[in-house]
Structure 1
Amino acid sequence: MGGAVRDQQQQLHPCDSLLLELNVIWDEVGEPDTVRDKTLLELEQECLDVYRRKVDQANRCRAQLRQSIAEAEAELAGICSAIGEPPVHVRQSNQKLHGLREELNAIIPYLEEMRTKKVERWSQFVHVLEEIKKISSEIRPSDFVPFKTPVDQSDLSLRKFEELTKELESLQKEKRERLKQVMDHLNTLHSLCEVLGIDFKQTVHEVHPSLDEAEGSKNLSNTTIERLALAVDRLREIKIQRMQKLQDFASTMLELWNLMDTPIEEQQMFQNVTCNIAASEHEITEPNTLSIDFLSYVEAEVLRLEQLKGSKMKDLVLKKKSELEEHRRRAHLIGEEGYSDEFNIEAIESGAIDPALVLEQIEAHIATVKDEAFSRKDILEKVERFLNACEEEAWLEDYNKDDNRYNAGKGAHLTLKRAEKARILVNKIPGMVDVLTTKIIAWENERGKEFTYDGVCLFTDTSFLNGVCFSFFLEVYS
């Protein structure tokens, strides 16, 4: 019988087989029906509980798959919308899908691809945004509020990226223009600091600490540019003031050199000073040319020359007086001095007259004589030619009186040639007199005084000219 039961069990469902085996056992044991019924009810309830758990588990799995599909589709749609690409509809594009798992597995590749695109696009956005942040902090630090990378990634479209790129390009252009301004100011400041002997790094550090750094970005704000421009203007004003001071020293130095006949070798020591006497502000570029130390050095030399001038004042007055007399001699103004009392050496030595004032008066007289000489130049040249003609006329008269003038002898041909030239020149005397007389009359009318030659009036003093020359003057003047 046991074999028959086993065969029957093999033909039944596992649960029915186990139930049959349980009944056999109960029969052998003599289990009461109430106990059997209770046990069967318990077994049935346990089976229902297992089925319910499995159903609940399957239901949750289905819900999760549906939720994952919805989330994947939503994320896919969101990414497509964010990066500006058309939406992807996996269900519509694939009608042969069976079950939720296949549907989810079909969406995943598209989703991964779009996620990669979004990450790449976001990296581009981050790079541009960081550049915008960096440049904004450099050129507009007062208005700039540090910002973190935006977390809103809902708009990563190419249109938005182009807007940010254009904004970045605009900021880059503005940065280039500001950097050029800053570098121009820095170059100008460097040149000015070199000329003035001022510490360049300290100067720019006072404007902004970032400017004296060789590496790293520089502050390019409006405030920095304005402060740089003010620093340039301030140093340029200092340069102009010092340049004028140096040129004043140079002028004084040249005057003292000329006054005291300073040797060229000594003057060459300060050639870099005198060469800038007429230079404009932009032409003075040599380092330390206008430094305080160099100006003090030049000033000390000027003071030394001034002291030397004071010790040599008497010699200077005599020298200038001789120079004045030489100018008067060349202009044939001898006999019109009238200034001996002004330049009295005894008065200078006694301290009754300021030697510097005397030098100024002599310089004024020299300037007047130079002006007078210039106005007399043409007449003096004609007087010299006239006097030369008179000398030749006198020589010719003596020659004509010589009975041996035609005798052949050594140099006779040269004397004959001179006689021929003298006759030609003497024949020009009337014309010379006419021209000279006209010039002198015009000069006297213009100046309102007589024209004198070494104190002699040409038309009234017969001691000035001799013979026929003076007769020509009398004839024309009368």
Structure 2
Amino acid sequence: MATVSPCIPHSQTTCGSLLQELQIIWDEIGESDRDRDKMLLELEQECLDIYRRKVEKTRKYKADLHQLLAEADAEIADIFSVLGEHTSFSRGKGTLKQQMSAIKPMLEDLRLKKEQTVSDIHPSMTDPANGQSKSISNDTLAKLTRVIDSLRQEKQKRLLKLQGLGRMLIDQWDLMDTPVDERNKFDHVTSLIACTVDEVSKQGCLAIDIIEQTEVEIERLNVIKASKMKELVFKRQSELEEIYRGVHMEVVSDAARENLIHLIESGNVDLSELLSSMDDQIAKAKEEAVSRKDILDKVEKWRHVTEEEKWLDEYEKDENRYSAGKGVHKNLKRAEKARIFVSKIPSIVESLITKVKAWELERGVPFLYEKAPLLHTLEEYTVLRQEREEEKRRCREQKRLQEQLAAEQEALYGSRPPISKKPLGQSANTNNTVGTPVGRRMGTPLSRHGLSTGKERRESGRVNQAIPLNYVALPKDDSVHRGN
């Protein structure tokens, strides 16, 4: 009967109890010590990653609290200036949350006083008895000036805040390729980026609720970015590899991706900085691709011409290339064009070598094409082609000498005389006098081995040395009979 591992109540679950349960399960499965150690290391790494993310989140929260406290201090100082007060304020000591708790009521009270002061200034300009304007005291003018300055500073502050948020929005959108329709929802924010304070006049465009909505959107995008960052990194890597492949540069895809995975999972790299670094690599790759384009175009032309050269070599080896048949006319035309292309190969290769040398001299690195130095490939090709051309020249010379020797032999010995007709009843290949076979008396040593006389004539250039120089064909007369 199978044993059942004990189930630990959820309320009592701890790391130690979970590890104990895991050990029991491993024992039941029969897991090896090596696999257990490996899984424990993975668990430890996952725990570290969770702690690291929590620390990063807490560190950001701390920075946000510092920022809020600094903004509150600045706002309090501004309100004191508007009210004409020279009171100093200290938020005291304690934790950041305690300081926020201390400063919040003070800030709200000062905001109410500021609004009351502004409200008091306007009625003071009008006589409530008859509704007519009355003279304004210097004190009122001073308060009004302070209010206007304060409002101008607040406008400037809010504009700078929204401009910064707008830039952050655009960066996030570009990073994650956000669709245009989603971007249009915050046009009223991004349109302020290039504006000055005096150019901003639309009512409500700098309202607090707009700032808060923008901050919420940025926070939402940050959450999405964190979940999509790995996808974005590999998208950049794919783009980089595609550029490299397009210009025949070496791509170490697997190793690069493993390195990226290790960096992301370790948590020791800022993903935004990693993406920025990859964008720089992409920009450099595009720049190098442009510098390689002219050479690569010539390489493609050279490869096309060498393919035609190969086809032409095979075509000229075909003894039936002139035989009537389908496609003969097209092949003849292609062969004619191929010969023109092949004649240009030396100049194409020479021009390509010159450009590669200039490129390497300018950059101080070899020009690689499919992981191999292109200059070495071209020089090797040049040597091999010269060897092939020399071999072709030797073959042509040998063939010419063979044809010349065959012609000389034919001129010296002439064609084989036809076999004369014999009287009826006489053997066609036997002499009347001594009965010697004509084939034995007139043939070559090769014909004695059964080769036909037609082939013997075609190969006379090869067997001419086997024919005796003092060979004379005997006349076909009846001298023997007359002697008798």
TM-score with structure 2 length normalisation? 0.43
TM-score with structure 1 length normalisation? 0.43
Task: Considering Cα pairs closer than 8 Å and 6+ residues apart, tell me whether 1 or 2 has the greater RCO.
Answer: 1
Rg comparison, structure with higher value: 1
